């Protein structure tokens, strides 16, 4: 079985690819199946998140490119920067991981959160797409949805 232990830069060749949803890209130790159905194991440094486009390697130099899998998201498009900021504030206040772009934000689909944004006057749309949330000011997101290195209390 291939054992991936190192993260490389994004640029360069890859021998294959590995497509994972965000929850699995946050786990450093797990069994995975490469896109060509090859079984492998991740033995990566703890605490990091594999991002779309990252390359990882085995000790023998076999390299794969990580791809973010499509997953159920709610997407809001908004041309009003103040309304978009309000949406980000309310979602962030609930520690919801957000993918924030110009005029657009995405979060994992949740009907309760959709209803909250509808009350703000927004129209969340459900879609299947890769999810790349903001890493936050204190580091990458942990599997619990919080941020590493940051604690309340």
What confidence score (pLDDT) does residue 148 get?
41
Residue 150 has pLDDT above 50, yes or no: no
Specify the DSSP element, H or E, that contains 70.
strand 70-77
The pTM (predicted TM-score) of the whole model is 0.83
d(CA 133, CA 57): 24
| pLDDT, tens digit (0-9, with 9 covering 90-100), for 108-142 | 999 999 999 999 999 999 999 999 999 876 665 54
What architecture is domain 70-130? Answer: 2-Layer Sandwich (3.30)
Domain ranges of the chain: 2-68, 70-130
- Residue 47 Cα distances to 20, 42, 82, 118, 123, angstroms: 17, 13, 33, 35, 34
The conformational region for residue 66 under phi > 0 = left, psi -120 to 50 = alpha, else beta, is: beta
Residue 145 has pLDDT above 50, yes or no: no
The position carrying tokens 């699995």 is 24
Beta pairing partners, 67:
19
What architecture is domain 2-68? Answer: Sandwich (2.60)
48: which residues sit within 8 A by CB, 6+ positions away? 7, 28, 140
What confidence score (pLDDT) does residue 45 get?
87
CB 64 within 8 A of CB 56: yes
Q: State phi, psi for 28 to the nearest 5 degrees.
A: -85, -20
């Amino acid at each position: 079985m291939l054992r991936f232990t190192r993260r490389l830069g994004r640029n360069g060749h890859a021998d294959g690819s590995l497509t994972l949803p965000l929850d699995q890209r946050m786990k450093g130790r797990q069994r995975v199946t490469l896109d060509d159905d090859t079984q492998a194991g991740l033995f990566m440094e703890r605490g990091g998140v594999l991002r779309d486009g990252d390359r990882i390697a085995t000790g023998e130099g076999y390299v794969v490119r990580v791809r973010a899998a499509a997953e159920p998201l709610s997407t809001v498009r908004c041309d009003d920067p103040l309304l978009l900021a309000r949406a980000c504030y309310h979602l962030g206040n609930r520690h919801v991981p957000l993918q924030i772009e110009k005029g657009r934000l995405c979060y994992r689909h949740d009907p309760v959160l959709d209803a909250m944004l509808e009350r703000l006057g927004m129209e969340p749309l459900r879609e299947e797409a890769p999810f790349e949330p903001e890493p936050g000011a204190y580091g990458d997101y942990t599997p619990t949805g919080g941020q590493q290195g940051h604690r309340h209390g």
